[in-house]
A and B are shown apart, each in its own frame.
Chain A
Amino acid sequence: AQKITQTQPGMFVQEKEAVTLDCTYDTSDPSYGLFWYKQPSSGEMIFLIYQGSYDQQNATEGRYSLNFQKARKSANLVISASQLGDSAMYFCAMREVLTTSGTYKYIFGTGTRLKVLA
């Protein structure tokens, strides 16, 4: 079963406007973490923001904020004041504990390609 779902294959946003990238997740583990990574055309994976399942406040990092709705199992990324350099693939990911060995496993969604228009 798909554990991380990103339903938007591609998104466009006008420069300086805000954009929301959707992410829903599924887990039975009460302790988990949610992440967003950016992957520009150069290919490197760049960490943007993290939200722990027990965190009361929504995470924010500069122009990035994570809209965490635990009951709805959603962790949407909001980018404010979009810049041309924000054009990239964006991946939502979840960290959950594997019960067999107690190790952490990170699962990624299929990504959303964001294009910022001048």
Chain B
Amino acid sequence: DTGVSQDPRHKITKRGQNVTFRCDPISEHNRLYWYRQTLGQGPEFLTYFQNEAQLEKSRLLSDRFSAERPKGSFSTLEIQRTEQGDSAMYLCAIPSFPGANVLTFGAGSRLTVL
């Protein structure tokens, strides 16, 4: 139990389809991060939420990507018109406890775009 649940764990889709990933922290945390990890690389920052406000977005987050955290608890990451280059692991992370420096990661959602 990592403290962060991600769904789905695996998603295979055809190019051009839309996909949505969900991140559910087990307990309330004001900070929530999304990262993308491609094969053989480290996680790359995508976006950051402070409660329901999306405060930072990476340039990696093109206009096909949108993230929300409507009630400051769970978060969704949607990719529209998927491309093969979107194939990656999408990781959600929260502080290990309120105010912590350390991030706890979810198990991730692996996307494969055919």
Closest Cβ–Cβ distance, residue B105 to chain A (whole Å): 4
A101 to B57, CA, bound (A): 11
Pick the most buried of B33, B42, B56, B91: most chain A CB atoms within 10 A of its CB: B42
Is the interface on chain A under 10, 10 to 19, 20 to 34, or 35 or more residues?
Answer: 20 to 34
Binds B, one of A12-20, A45-53, A67-75: A45-53
| B101 to A, closest residue via Cβ | A33
| B9 to A, closest residue via Cβ | A43
Q: Which residues of B contact A80 (CB under 8 A)?
A: none
| B91 to A, closest residue via Cβ | A45
Q: Cβ of B103 and Cβ of A47 under 8 Å apart?
A: yes
Q: Which residues of B contact A52 (CB under 8 A)?
A: 101
With contacts A44-B2, A50-B101 known, is A105 near B31, CB below 8 A?
no
Which applies to chain B's interface (DSSP): helix, strand, loop or mixed?
strand
Q: Which residues of B contact A98 (CB under 8 A)?
A: 56
Q: Which residues of B contact A25 (CB under 8 A)?
A: none
Identify which of residues 25-70 in chain B touch chain A, using a CB-to-CB cut-off of 8 Å.
31, 33, 35, 40-45, 48, 50, 55-56
| A103 to B, closest residue via Cβ | B55
**Cross-interface CB contact of B42 among A43, A100, A105, A111, cutoff 8 Å:** A111
Tell me how many residues of B have a C-beta within 8 Å of chain A. Answer: 26
A98 to B50, CA, bound (A): 13
Identify which of residues 84-114 in chain B touch chain A, using a CB-to-CB cut-off of 8 Å.
89, 91, 93, 96, 101-105, 107-108, 110
| B110 to A, closest residue via Cβ | A43
Q: Cβ of A103 and Cβ of B48 under 8 Å apart?
A: yes
A112 to B102, CA, bound (A): 20
With contacts A33-B101, A35-B102, A43-B89 known, is A106 near B33, CB below 8 A?
yes
Q: Which residues of A contact B91 (CB under 8 A)?
A: 45
Could you give 19 example pairs across A and B, Cβ below 8 Å?
A37-B105, A43-B89, A44-B108, A45-B43, A45-B93, A47-B103, A50-B101, A91-B43, A100-B56, A104-B31, A104-B48, A104-B101, A106-B33, A106-B93, A107-B45, A110-B40, A110-B41, A110-B42, A111-B40
